[in-house]
């Protein structure tokens, strides 16, 4: 025990010496010697009064300082207050789900015209591929008459609740970069995800749960990793918190043997008092994030096991979603998404892996593996819309569905050789997304692709337009919703984006 005490004393002495040395002072005060000079002009080293004075307990903190997830009103009247985003990681084929192309069926197995290939980049297609007709049967469904394939028999029943975007486009054709672009507005690392922007702007309605929760299924995480729910340059308290539908919902949710709630509470209070004093010295917002995360973790130990328990749901609800208690599944996650928004979670992100339909084996063939993936999501996502609607939650919730890009109307011929199974390559020129919920025009369909689904010919919208529309429904002007970083104001939509008014009620 004595060596440990000696080590702690040595660390304390070292820490105090670091704070007192001239070298440390010159390095850390504002931005160095230049900061000292500027500070003399702009009312000292703390012109905005960020540093709080400490005398015993720290005073002068705002509620937002000590609780970064405190609820905030949006600048404008919102149509929704929560978002559930369903991302099909790997990029589902719109040509077997929503974008019906009878002309493509007539051209099946014919060589692709060179005019479509010139100047285009593909992930794997080389030479001259052959066109591949739709590998599904389509019908017009509901009062809206929107086309839905027989891969989605349950979704046909709720098609009038959604608005389709048939000509979404992106300039990224590799999974990781396209997923980053779809969720952060940039294909480069370091930008906040859309869920982080939303919780930064609105906070959370339930202080016992994270404002931004992530659920994954399909056996793997997205190609871009956890960056797609990261907070980037925003304080880390706004990043997504990944929960699990199998086993403990959060790792280490249980305290070790011998640790009582009272002891845990006293320990956190002592740690947070130290952190508050550190913040008083350095005004580092990450210290406040650390305080909030300690306290959130403490509260989550009580709240999370309850909200993440689907066993207590009525049997008819379980059957409606097709849940599999004890397993990691998209169905379980859809039911959990409803429970989370019902309990005030601001942004729920679902990632379902396994949609990369290249045709390299049966599981990635558009006439085999894709059908199986559609079967996995069809009932749960349809049940989610019905369940939200019957509980009166759909009026306040926006549901978004899509992938990171679409698939080509040509059959993939990797390295110029015909694949053993029917597959489609990555394609960013045109793909389908849909939205449902508050503020969305029911049964709408905006945008149109050409006769074979290669490019958008009407109503083309970008990833930035999708982001602008989501923020608009939450009560934000995407051009005004910014965060200052590295000398300039950043926004989710960068310098682009327009609200897609054609799908708004």
Write the DSSP string, 194-219.
HHHHHHHHH--S-TTS-SEEEEEESS
Tell me how crowded residue 396 is: count the other CB atoms within 10 A of its CB.
Answer: 16
d(Cα 373, Cα 352) in Å, to the nearest integer? 9
What is the 8-class DSSP label of residue 239?
S
Q: What are the angstrom distances between the C-alpha of 181 and each of 143, 172, 242, 339? A: 35, 8, 20, 28
- Helix (H) / strand (E) element for 19: namely helix 2-20
Q: What is the pLDDT at residue 419?
A: 82
pLDDT in tens, the chain (505 residues): 555 677 767 776 776 666 566 555 555 554 445 444 433 333 333 333 334 433 333 455 666 777 888 899 999 999 999 999 999 999 999 999 999 999 999 999 999 999 999 988 899 999 999 999 999 999 999 999 999 999 999 999 999 999 999 999 999 999 999 999 999 999 999 999 999 999 999 999 988 888 999 999 999 989 999 999 999 999 888 999 998 666 666 655 566 666 666 666 677 777 777 777 777 777 776 777 676 666 666 565 655 667 778 888 999 999 999 998 888 899 999 999 999 999 999 999 999 999 999 999 999 999 999 999 999 999 999 999 999 999 999 999 999 999 999 999 999 998 888 888 999 999 999 999 999 999 999 999 999 999 999 999 999 999 999 999 999 999 999 999 999 999 999 999 999 999 999 999 9
- Please compute, for residue 244, the number of CA atoms within 13 A of its CA located in the half-sphere on the CB side: 14
What pTM was computed for the model? 0.83
CA atoms within 13 A on the CB side of 144: 18
d(CA 229, CA 244): 15
- pLDDT tens-digit series, residues 461-486: 999 999 999 999 999 999 999 999 99
CA dihedral sign, ordered 337, 339, 345, 346: positive
Could you give the CA distance from residue 190 to residue 364 in angstroms, rounded to a whole number? 32
Q: 448-449 and 456-458 as β-strands: parallel, antiparallel, unpaired?
A: antiparallel
List phi, psi (to 5°) of 461: -130, 150
How many separate helices (H) and strands (E) can be counted in the chain? Answer: 14, 19
Distances (CA, A) of 415 to 120, 125, 418, 425: 15, 6, 9, 12
Contact 460, 428 (CB under 8 A): no
Q: Give the helix ranges, DSSP H, for 283-349.
A: 285-307, 315-321, 330-342
DSSP string, 87-128: EEET---GGGTT---HHHHHTTTSBPPHHHHTT---SSB-S-
* Three-state DSSP state, 70: coil
Residue with tokens 């046909």: 156
CA distances from 376 to 213, 309, 418, 432, 465 (A): 21, 21, 28, 19, 29
Contact 483, 231 (CB under 8 A): no
> Residue 42: its pLDDT value, please?
35
For Cα atoms 246, 247, 248, give the angle at the middle one, nearest 5 degrees. Answer: 120
Nearest to 129 by CA among 143, 148, 147, 110: 110
Contact in structure between 125 and 439 (CB atoms under 8 Å) = no
- What is the rounded CA–CA span in Å between residue 26 and residue 34? 10
267 in helix, strand or coil? helix
- The stretches of 308-451 forming alpha helices (DSSP H) are 315-321, 330-342, 369-390
Q: Which two tokens stand for residue 104?
A: 């493509």
Burial status of residue 277 (CB atoms within 10 A of its CB: 0-12, 13-18, 19 or more): middle
Give the residue carrying structure tokens 């008014």.
501
Q: How far apart are CA 301 and CA 254, in angstroms?
A: 7
Q: Based on the number of CB atoms within 10 Å of its own CB, is 502 exposed (0-12), middle (13-18) or buried (19 or more)?
A: middle
Per-residue confidence (pLDDT) for residue 114, from 0 to 100: 92
Give 4: exposed, middle or buried? Use CB within 10 Å, 0-12, 13-18, 19+: exposed
Determine the Cα–Cα distance for residues 9 and 251; give it in Å rounded to an integer.
Answer: 32
Tokens linked to 3: 């060596």
Provide the token pair at 53: 């004075």
End-to-end CA separation in angstroms for the chain: 68
- Residue 435: strand, helix, or coil: strand
475 and 436 Cβ atoms separated by less than 8 Å: no
Going from the C-alpha of 32 to that of each of 7, 23, 137, 452, the distances in angstroms are 31, 10, 67, 61
Residue 372 confidence (pLDDT): 97
């Amino acid at each position: 025990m004595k060596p440990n005490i000696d080590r702690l004393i040595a660390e304390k002495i070292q820490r105090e010496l670091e704070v007192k040395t001239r070298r440390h002072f010159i390095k850390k005060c504002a931005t160095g010697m230049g900061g000292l000079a500027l500070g003399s002009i702009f009312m000292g080293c703390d012109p905005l009064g960020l540093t709080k004075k400490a005398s015993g307990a720290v005073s002068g903190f705002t509620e937002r300082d000590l609780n970064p997830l405190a609820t905030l009103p949006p600048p404008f009247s919102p149509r929704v207050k929560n978002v559930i985003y369903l991302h099909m990681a790997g990029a589902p084929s719109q040509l077997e789900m929503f974008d019906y192309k009878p002309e493509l069926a007539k051209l099946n197995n014919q060589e692709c015209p060179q005019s479509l290939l010139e100047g285009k980049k593909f992930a794997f297609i080389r030479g001259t591929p052959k066109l591949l007709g739709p590998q599904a049967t389509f019908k017009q469904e509901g009062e809206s008459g929107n086309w839905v394939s027989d891969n989605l028999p349950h979704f046909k029943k709720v098609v009038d609740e959604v608005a389709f975007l048939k000509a979404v486009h992106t300039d990224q054709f590799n999974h990781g970069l396209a997923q980053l672009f779809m969720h952060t507005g940039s294909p480069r690392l370091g930008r906040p995800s859309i869920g982080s922007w939303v919780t930064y702007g609105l906070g959370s309605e339930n202080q016992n749960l994270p404002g931004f929760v992530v659920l994954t299924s399909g056996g793997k995480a997205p190609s871009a990793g956890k960056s797609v729910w990261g907070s980037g340059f925003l304080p880390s308290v706004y990043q997504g918190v990944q929960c699990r539908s199998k086993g403990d919902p959060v790792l280490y949710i249980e305290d070790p043997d011998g640790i009582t709630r009272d002891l845990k509470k006293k320990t956190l209070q002592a740690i947070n008092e130290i952190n508050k004093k550190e913040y008083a010295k350095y005004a580092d917002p990450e210290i406040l994030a650390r305080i909030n995360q300690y306290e959130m973790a403490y509260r989550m130990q009580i709240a999370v096991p309850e909200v993440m328990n689907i066993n207590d749901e009525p049997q008819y609800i379980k059957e409606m979603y097709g849940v599999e208690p004890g397993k990691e599944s998209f169905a379980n996650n859809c039911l959990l998404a409803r429970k989370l928004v019902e309990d005030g979670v601001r942004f729920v992100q679902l990632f379902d892996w396994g949609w990369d339909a290249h045709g390299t084996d049966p599981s990635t063939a558009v006439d085999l593996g894709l059908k199986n993936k559609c079967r996995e999501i069809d009932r749960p996502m349809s049940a989610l819309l019905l369940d939200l609607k019957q509980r009166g939650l759909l009026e306040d919730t926006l549901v978004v569905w899509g992938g990171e890009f679409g698939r080509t109307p040509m059959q993939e011929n990797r390295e110029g050789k015909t694949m053993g199974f029917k597959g489609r390559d990555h394609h960013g020129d045109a793909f389908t997304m849909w939205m449902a919920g508050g503020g969305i025009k029911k049964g709408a369909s905006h945008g149109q692709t050409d006769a074979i689904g290669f490019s958008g010919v009407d109503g083309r919208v970008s990833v930035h337009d999708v982001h602008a529309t989501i923020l608009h429904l939450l009560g934000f002007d995407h051009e005004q919703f910014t965060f200052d970083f590295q000398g300039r104001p950043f926004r989710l939509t960068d310098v682009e984006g327009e609200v897609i008014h054609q799908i708004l009620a």
